Amino acid sequence: MDEEGKGIVKIKGKEVHVPNLIDGETAVVEVLCQRNFINAKVIRIEEKSEYRVEPKCKYFNKCGGCQLQHLSLEGQRKFKQKSVEKLMKQYHKVNEIIMMEKPYFYRNKVHSTLAYDKNGKIISGIYEENTHNVIPIEECIIQDRRADEIIASICKIMRVHKMKPYNEDTGQGFLRHILVKTGFASNQIMVVLVVSSQIFPGKNNFVRELLKKHPEITTIVMNVNDRKTSMVLGNVEKVLFGKGYIEDTLCNCVFQISPKSFYQVNPIQTEVLYNKAIDMAKLKGNEAVLDAYCGIGTISLIVSSKVKNVIGVELNKDAVKDAIKNAKRNKITNAFFYNDDAGDFMVSLAMKKQNVDVVFMDPPRSGSDEKFLSSLVRLLPKKVIYISCNPVTQER
């Protein structure tokens, strides 16, 4: 199986990646030839893997959000263990994967796209894999249930107010996306309405009706994206209710989370991950630490009590503002944050001959770039702790 969980088969001497096929299975597949590549889909499984299960999600074969629900949890563990070992065994022994005990309804960030179905009814959901066709989702088994309920209510209010979902082909319509962020520990809820215009007809009534149905909502923010683009969020924001942010607690630190701030989507496993990363650093208490790609300062602030000082660097200026506020909120005085490219920032540190003992790096899924890595070599830290959401780019 490849890194996306697709089965790999040979057809006419060519390697073909087939969704919903598990190692060791025998299946009848339909070959779909394209100009430059071959696709295939499973028609019938003739010999099933011992790890094959019926997916819990009724949208599994359509939405493309989860790729491994046809594998049992043990099958998923073995697949992921094998995938990482294949990439990393040439460098070091790979320890056993730490599994989540109950991997359902944990996701604290939900993004829903709006459209009309064939009958002209407003629907919300996510894009079908490799398309911009919206698959209507009533309940997602990995995301916070409250988010699904709030999104369903928004769709109903839209119908009453005759509010149109945005059509990215025509550029017409008003509401583009709904973003719901929840605090796992705080139970706070943020609703972000991504709209195509700063003029929100019936805004006060809309907000009033939504809060009447869901008094648990902590804040509502209008984000204006008036560009013809696939980017979700725009640059202009207006708070319609509450403070415009929520708070959550992670590893005993309180964090402010804004609409554009990156915050790990699985709070339970994030605590496991960060504690493991800090343990691996074997800190003695006198270290100077650099947290590259620091976001809203999660690692920086969590590690601050265990080191002499910590510097966080992040390119997203909104995240840096949150990081500074989070340091003040937690009364942490040995953490300092800078809005800069991580590679450029490390070059400047090296030129100043500033000592850095430990670097924590948690880059985006695309991985770190050559400039950053060459800067890291110039800085010469004693330890580097590389946290990655994509082992393929980490190995590269």
Active site members: 389
Q: What is the residue-wise DSSP string for 76-94? A: HHHHHHHHHHHHHTTTSPP
Element (H, E) at 125: strand 122-127
Only one residue has tokens 């709209």, namely 195
DSSP H helices, the chain, are 60-63, 73-88, 145-160, 203-213, 267-281, 298-303, 317-329, 342-351, 370-379, 391-395
**What is the rounded distance in angstroms from the CA atom of residue 60 to the CA atom of residue 208?**
35
Only one residue has tokens 């520990």, namely 185
Question: Could you tell me the two tokens for 202?
Answer: 């019936």
Is residue 137 within 8 A of residue 125, CB to CB? The reply is yes
- Name residue 339's beta-bridge partners: 314
**What is the rounded distance in angstroms from the CA atom of residue 389 to the CA atom of residue 362?**
8
Q: What is the residue-wise DSSP string for 37-64? A: -EEEEEEEEEE--TTB---S-TTHHHH-
* 114: amino acid identity, one letter: L
* 157: amino acid identity, one letter: I
**What is the rounded distance in angstroms from the CA atom of residue 15 to the CA atom of residue 251?**
45
Phi/psi at 194 (5° precision): -90, 115
Give the largest CA-CA distance in the chain.
Answer: 66
